[in-house]
Amino acid sequence: MRHESIKTVKTDNQFGGRIGRTVADSTPAWPASRERKRAQPNVITIVLDDVGFGQLGCYGSSIATPAIDDLAAHGARFSNFHATALCSPTRAALLTGRNHHSVGVGFLADFDSGFPGYRGAVDPETPMLSERLKKEGYGTYAVGKWHLAPPTDLSPAGPFGQWPTGRGFDRFYGFLGGEEDQWAPELWEDQHYAPLPDDPDYHLSADLVDRAQQYLSDHVSVAPERPFYMHLAFGAGHAPHHAPRQYIERYRGAFDHGWDVERERVLARQLELGIVPPGTELPEPNPGVARWADLSAEQQRLYARMQEVFAAFIEYTDVQIGRLIDFLRTYQLLDNTVIVLMSDNGASGEGGAHGSANEYRYFLGVEDSFEDSLAMINELGGPYTHNHYPSGWAQAGNTPLRMYKKYNYAGGVRVPMIVRYPARVRDSDVVRQQFQHITDVVPTLLDLLGLDARDFAPDKAPHGRSFVDVLEDPAAAPSARTQYFETAGYRGIVKDGWKAVARHEPGTDYDNDQWELFAIADDFAEVHDLAGTHPAVVEELVAEWWTQAETHDVLPLDDRMQTRVETRNTGMERAIYRLLPGVRLPNGASAPGFGDREFTLTVNLQDLGERENGVLVAYGRRAAGFVLFFDDGRATFVLNRAGDRTVVAADRPADPGTRQVRLELTRTDKGACARLCYDEQVVAEAALPSLMPAGFGCLSLQVGYNSPSPVSDLYRAPARFTGTIHDVVIEFSAPVTGMSPQAWELLLRTE
């Protein structure tokens, strides 16, 4: 029977066809492919970490960087490009085109201090470049460092909204935090843990380029008609400085002349290359940096070796960048790809006067003597070190600029930046002197792609402006602009050829800050303070800074250190954790905070056999941490305080059928006590130098194994437990009390 009441024809503007009673009286339709006005180029952004203005060959460095130099030779170098003074803020501004406070990342992603400018994550309503380009049909890929997800999101259970795959990237492979061991990193792919390849010559820089090439191979093979966007963020040259031995040996003796002579040599090359204008002067040494001639022979030997390792780290990473460029060239992708290479901030002076063979010693409050580092001189750069060079080499790396990362003098915020795109950069191997800012990158890229940023989110449009005219014409007139700077209470502003910087001591009244004034067109290195002769200019710039601060959510100013860390922990810690076998909790709110806390760790077992082996619970890696494991059936606890290891072993193997292994850590007048129990019977008790140091809040926890590197040398990673764990229960006797100033420095150093 025919049902006449049924409508036989349906039109739908979104569908575009007709739907009748049957397919015979219906018309199909398919969505039309997005038509582009022209063939759009691919985009690759390459971000180096803590690489100073003078640490690339094409910017005057003694370090060999031929692949990067080749990009510059076929593109444009910028000598007046500015980022922010820290990692997460720069990355937020790079990916959105907006000032870092305005998108909620006024400081590191590790913190949410409760104010709009300091949420520690990019505002979800502000589109990232990846989200914009994905809507345009681009394949989008992120490889390497992220550090834009808050601690509350660093969990294998999510939420994943601030992970790369939640912010417009189709694929992700890399690390989520601020720094990583280059020999044995903790890596994530998309939204799951990624075990390391079984490669005795493994190094993270090479691995990242391997994965970048794989993603691009997949893309070009399957969807050659679609352009791609690759965001490649290396860990180099952030500490730890790790490099293959053969690269380190290439630099043996290359820096024996010391950092004072090195500054002079770099400046001479910069003048010859046109990177700095004639007449540029070297500032006086930064506070706390000794004259090389005043150091002992042993100090010079150690510090020179630390710089040799850093140079090798950068050169090795340059080789990997060269592999990526060769890949693009081989498959005829290079000239149709916009490549932007930059550093996220200036060189890091956080190694202090002496540097360190294992900077975790400082983080954990363990004495870190010059003699300890000297004893490790032949291991520097290898898997048993977590090394950082002295601030004197960072000073040389920022030549000819003052200060370092974290500060808003030029040494903290003026960084190398190169753009290669032959279609629009026709006069290659030239230097652009015009002032540019990190917020300019997104509008420039969109301009090159023929896109309008306002079409995506009109009320979240970039604060920066396109510099395509500067790319095309080295003589293009610089645009008038005002740009503020702020990092942890340190302030600065650029306007009308002037730059003002506030000298601030944390904890003091901002109204008492002394402002310095520099005529940056004539004083490239910010050597001559003109505040005394131009007080009206200073007054105008300070007033403008406050206006900018109100506009961009910089307020309230916050120079807190330890208390800002305490804010991070509020509401995140639990008194009891129950963990199942196989789980990995990365550094973040999902992992327990063991720092300076008494606790009991109970491992409930099933059907324990005879002479079981392997890790029950591990917290950390080779550089630092603690581990509870079976060694030929004997429960063993190791506390690794940055190489200072205490071993507590049971007096006998566990009997078959043992149901429980328990570790109890309690505070004592002289430090701490560790007690091991089988079921309810004590089988070991020993004194420890302390409870877990406060800096232990920055490591990951694993149940039933330990990777990517072992906390103890008594086993080989991953040392999976041969028996069966039912669960692990961790009970704390007191709530988290916050972190020490050293722990704050850990989080600051690892940004």
Looking up tokens 């104010």 gives: 115
What's the gap between Cα 97 and its chain centre? 19
Q: What is the pLDDT of residue 115?
A: 94
Q: What is the pLDDT of residue 743?
A: 45
| Residue 196, SS3 per DSSP | coil
- Which tokens belong to 209? 């380029």
Measured on CA atoms in the order 28, 34, 38, 40, is the torsion positive or negative? negative
Give the burial string for 366-399 (b: 16+ CB within 10 Å, else e).
bebebebbeebbeebbbbbbbbbbbbbbbbbbbb
Other beta carbons within 10 angstroms of residue 360's beta carbon come to 27
Kindly tell me if the per-residue pLDDT of 729 is higher than 70: yes
Kindly tell me if the per-residue pLDDT of 35 is higher than 80: no
Give the E-state strand segments of 274-359 in sequence order: 337-343
Q: What is the pLDDT of residue 8?
A: 43
Domains and CATH numbers, the chain: 1-32 (no CATH), 42-438+450-472 (3.40.720.10), 492-557 (3.30.1120.10), 574-735 (2.60.120.200)
| Spatial separation of the C-alpha atoms in residues 43 and 396, rounded to whole Å | 32
Contacts of 477 (CB under 8 A, 6+ apart): none
Kindly tell me if the per-residue pLDDT of 734 is higher than 60: yes
Give the E-state strand segments of 404-530 in sequence order: 417-420, 430-432, 436-437, 482-487, 490-495, 498-503, 514-519
| Spatial separation of the C-alpha atoms in residues 221 and 219, rounded to whole Å | 5
Looking up tokens 């060694």 gives: 631
- Which tokens belong to 695? 């800096």
| Spatial separation of the C-alpha atoms in residues 495 and 698, rounded to whole Å | 39
Kindly tell me if the per-residue pLDDT of 595 is higher than 90: no
User: Is pTM, for the whole model, over 0.85?
Assistant: yes
**Cis? peptide before 718, omega within 30° of 0:** yes
Burial bucket for residue 346 (CB in 10 Å: 0-12, 13-18, 19+): buried
Lowest average pLDDT, out of 411-420, 433-442, 580-589, goes to 580-589
Using DSSP bridges, classify how beta strands 76-78 and 724-732 pair: parallel, antiparallel or unpaired.
Answer: unpaired
Phi–psi pair at 621, nearest 5 degrees: -155, -170
Q: What is the pLDDT of residue 13?
A: 58
Residue pair 709/383 in contact by the 8 Å Cβ criterion: yes
DSSP type of residue 283: P
| Spatial separation of the C-alpha atoms in residues 347 and 289, rounded to whole Å | 14
| Spatial separation of the C-alpha atoms in residues 573 and 150, rounded to whole Å | 15
Kindly tell me if the per-residue pLDDT of 747 is higher than 50: no
- Which tokens belong to 592? 């327990």
Measured between alpha carbons, how far is residue 371 from residues 29, 295, 298, 364 in Å?
76, 14, 10, 18
When pLDDT is averaged across residues 227-233 and rounded to a whole number, the result is: 98
Kindly tell me if the per-residue pLDDT of 741 is higher than 70: no
Looking up tokens 């909204």 gives: 161
When pLDDT is averaged across residues 250-275 and rounded to a whole number, the result is: 98
Percent of the chain with pLDDT over 90: 81
Q: What is the pLDDT of residue 6?
A: 43
Percent of the chain with pLDDT over 70: 93
Other beta carbons within 10 angstroms of residue 264's beta carbon come to 14
Higher pLDDT, 205 or 569: 205
Residue pair 526/283 in contact by the 8 Å Cβ criterion: yes
Annotation says 534 is catalytic: no
| Spatial separation of the C-alpha atoms in residues 353 and 332, rounded to whole Å | 48
Kindly tell me if the per-residue pLDDT of 738 is higher than 60: no
Q: Confidence class of residue 749 from pLDDT cuts 50, 70 and 90?
A: very low
Give the E-state strand segments of 512-573 in sequence order: 514-519
DSSP type of residue 282: P
| Spatial separation of the C-alpha atoms in residues 276 and 431, rounded to whole Å | 9
List the catalytic residue out of 74, 100, 147, 388. 147
Please give the single-letter amino acid code of residue 713: D
Kindly tell me if the per-residue pLDDT of 345 is higher than 90: yes
Q: What pLDDT, in 10s, does the model give residues 485-494?
A: 999 999 999 9
Q: What is the pLDDT of residue 104?
A: 97
Q: Confidence class of residue 110 from pLDDT cuts 50, 70 and 90?
A: confident
| Helix (H), strand (E) at residue 629 | strand 624-631
Q: Confidence class of residue 745 from pLDDT cuts 50, 70 and 90?
A: very low
| Spatial separation of the C-alpha atoms in residues 487 and 491, rounded to whole Å | 7
| Spatial separation of the C-alpha atoms in residues 406 and 350, rounded to whole Å | 10
| Spatial separation of the C-alpha atoms in residues 217 and 153, rounded to whole Å | 31
| Spatial separation of the C-alpha atoms in residues 361 and 427, rounded to whole Å | 50
Q: What is the pLDDT of residue 739?
A: 45
When pLDDT is averaged across residues 29-50 and rounded to a whole number, the result is: 82
When pLDDT is averaged across residues 183-190 and rounded to a whole number, the result is: 97
Lowest average pLDDT, out of 4-8, 46-50, 553-557, goes to 4-8
Cα atoms in the Cβ-side hemisphere of radius 13 Å centred on 691: 18
Q: What is the pLDDT of residue 660?
A: 97
Phi–psi pair at 746, nearest 5 degrees: -60, -50
Phi–psi pair at 634, nearest 5 degrees: -105, 120
- Sheet of strand 624-631, all strands in order from the earlier edge strand to the far edge: 584-585, 701-703, 614-621, 624-631, 634-641, 644-649
Q: What is the dihedral of CA 579, 112, 164, 359, to 10 degrees?
A: -70
Q: Confidence class of residue 5 from pLDDT cuts 50, 70 and 90?
A: very low
List the catalytic residue out of 87, 241, 504, 698. 87
Phi–psi pair at 677, nearest 5 degrees: -135, 140
Annotation says 58 is catalytic: no
DSSP type of residue 46: E
Q: What is the pLDDT of residue 589?
A: 66
Q: Of 282, 377, 326, 301, whose CA–CA distance to 53 is shortest?
A: 282
Lowest average pLDDT, out of 29-33, 139-143, 243-247, 406-410, goes to 29-33
Q: What pLDDT, in 10s, does the model give residues 316-339?
A: 999 999 999 999 999 999 999 999
When pLDDT is averaged across residues 556-584 and rounded to a whole number, the result is: 74
Contacts of 491 (CB under 8 A, 6+ apart): 408, 484, 485, 501, 502, 504, 513, 545, 557
Q: Confidence class of residue 245 from pLDDT cuts 50, 70 and 90?
A: very high
Kindly tell me if the per-residue pLDDT of 570 is higher than 70: no
Q: What pLDDT, in 10s, does the model give residues 362-405?
A: 777 788 889 999 999 999 999 999 999 999 999 999 999 999 99
Q: What pLDDT, in 10s, does the model give residues 633-682?
A: 999 999 999 989 999 999 999 999 999 999 999 999 999 999 999 999 99
When pLDDT is averaged across residues 236-246 and rounded to a whole number, the result is: 97
When pLDDT is averaged across residues 701-715 and rounded to a whole number, the result is: 97
Q: What is the pLDDT of residue 693?
A: 81
When pLDDT is averaged across residues 294-306 and rounded to a whole number, the result is: 98
Q: What is the pLDDT of residue 569?
A: 45
DSSP type of residue 27: B
Q: What is the mean pLDDT of the chain?
A: 92
When pLDDT is averaged across residues 722-751 and rounded to a whole number, the result is: 66
Measured between alpha carbons, how far is residue 197 from residues 194, 208, 231 in Å?
9, 12, 22
* Cα angle 244-247-250, degrees, rounded to a multiple of 5: 150
Q: What is the pLDDT of residue 573?
A: 67
**DSSP-assigned beta bridge partners for residue 684:** 676
- Which tokens belong to 475? 């003589």
Q: What is the pLDDT of residue 696?
A: 66
Please give the single-letter amino acid code of residue 564: R
